[in-house]
Amino acid sequence: MLRFACSPTADLSLESLRLALMNFVVAMQRNEGFVIRIEDTDQKRNIEGKDAEIVALLELFGITYKDVLYQSKNFKFHSAMAIDLLHRKKAFNCFCSLEELEAKKKKAKEQKRLYSYDGSCEQLPAEEVIDNPKPFTVRIKKPTKNISFVDRVQGELSFSPEEVDSFVILNVDKTPAYDFATAVDDMLSDISVVISSEEQIESAPKQIYVRSSLGYDKAIEYAHLPPMLEADTDTKSLLQEGFLPQAIANYLLTLGTNDSERIFTLEEAKEHFNLAKIGKTAVKFDKERLREINKEHLLRLDDKELSRFVGFADAQIGALAKLFVDSAGTTRELKREIQRIFSKKEIPQKYASTAATLKKIICQAPYFGEYENFIQHLKKESALEERELLTALQLLISGSTDKVEPKEIYPHIKNYIKEIVSC
């Protein structure tokens, strides 16, 4: 089983989306299930409805899942396991106040050394623990030897007992702390591989230690990806800008690899994506590159489907839109191009009279299925010189002279020609 874990406290970032996609693809590759886990243990910070929004976005990107799990529903397991650790003297109650801890941290910082819990409450006599009215947290006793594991991206990693530390597993309100809840949930969900971001590296040894303390000996494989830089945009804005979900997914899955067969659907990613190819170097989010990939996906889109993005339900308009993909890389820009054709045009003074003549002819003309016949008719009726005629026609159709030519456009718009020149 693989999972995508996210807290319902913020929008789905591109980095998170990338992780979700990778976990999903690897689940497909390994023929394992995939679940979404909402990490909602901090009730104060949760944003109403954010969980549903994130799930809907993931669906939009083509991710399918077995289940959406809420971490808060596992509180009873978290407490039970914390109590188990307490009974087995692998954890202890800690009565230190926040102020005391804060002071010790500050001191450690001043002395420029690593802060770790000093163990004040670890050896308290039993009676002092039982009768103590002070609020308390539960801490796991730090390991006695290094915690080591092999990370699929980072290589061999080893953490000292001080780095793992006697960290809090139950907060003072007895909700589980992050590393503990995650470690337990991964165990309960039978997670096999975790792909997450570099910032979670220090969490891994803690979680490994929690599970081994609980006697769970299945090793979870970790892969901590290097960060994605300069992603000064988010998932929702990219979609609003007119980038296709399949293009965004494609881009995020190729980032950090050198896959030259770079255009693929999420289904095809099963073949193309290779976690082992991801290096330790940070990657830059490059919107220009995404645009190029988006163009490829636009061209691969079914004509009729594409036409819906630009406000029509006609395959011909979709095909028409594809003519503009060279300069317009997003559905939003394509829509602008199509709208330009279907709206009233400003004809430059120089061509005003020619255009008016042509317009009149077109409005009275019969229907022509072929561009050649259409243009011959215009030539005959107007007696205009060819170059001038073409320029005026182009102005009438697209409102500009520097885009795609009438010859290419006509086959797709022949049914709309009178509407377009606004008869």
Partner RNA sequence: GGCCCCAUCGUCUAGCGGUUAGGAUCCCAGGUUUUCAUCCUGGUUACCGGGGUUCGAGUCCCCGUGGGGUCACCA
282: tokens are 């940070």
Amino acid letter, residue 23: N
3-class secondary structure, 71: helix
Between 51 and 359, whose beta carbon lies closer to RNA?
51
Q: Which residue, 239 or 323, is less far from RNA as judged by CB?
A: 323
For the bound state, the minimum distance from the C-beta of residue 321 to RNA, rounded and expressed in Å, comes to 10
Stretch that binds RNA, among 23-31, 78-86, 250-258, 362-370 (CB under 7 A): 250-258
What would the x/- binding string for RNA be over residues 340 to 369, using CB under 7 A? ------------------------------
CB atoms within 10 A of CB 148: 11
Which CB, 44 or 380, lies closer to RNA?
44
- DSSP state at residue 218: P
Q: Which is nearer to RNA, 281 or 349 (CB)?
A: 281
Q: What tokens does 171 get?
A: 């907060």
CB of 352 to RNA, least distance (A): 29
Closer by beta carbon to RNA, 225 or else 358? 225
- For β-strands 67-70 and 91-94, DSSP reports them as unpaired
Please select the residue that binds RNA; options are 13, 171, 316, 400, rule is CB under 7 A: 171
Please list, residue by residue across 6-45, b when 16 or more beta carbons sit within 10 angstroms of its beta carbon and e when fewer do: bbbeeebbbbbbbbbbbbbbbbbbeeeebbbbbbbbbeee
Alpha helices in 224-370 (DSSP H): 235-241, 245-254, 266-272, 287-300, 303-309, 315-322, 331-342, 352-364
Q: Binding segment for RNA among 193-201, 211-219, 344-352, 375-383 (CB under 7 A)?
A: 193-201
Exactly one of 21, 283, 301, 392 binds RNA (CB under 7 A); which one? 283
> How far lies 82's CA from each of 36, 117, 124, 225, in Å?
24, 19, 18, 30
Residue 279 interacts with RNA (CB under 7 A)?
yes
Q: With binding defined as CB under 7 A, does residue 314 bind RNA?
A: no
Q: Tell me the CA distances in angstroms from 365 to 74, 373, 390, 421, one per residue in order.
A: 73, 11, 17, 12
Interacting residues with RNA (CB under 7 A): 6-7, 9, 39-42, 45, 71, 96-98, 101, 105, 109, 112-115, 135, 137, 154, 163, 167-168, 171-173, 175, 177-179, 198-203, 226-227, 229, 254-258, 260, 262, 277-284, 286, 288-289, 292, 299, 319, 322-323, 325-326, 408, 411
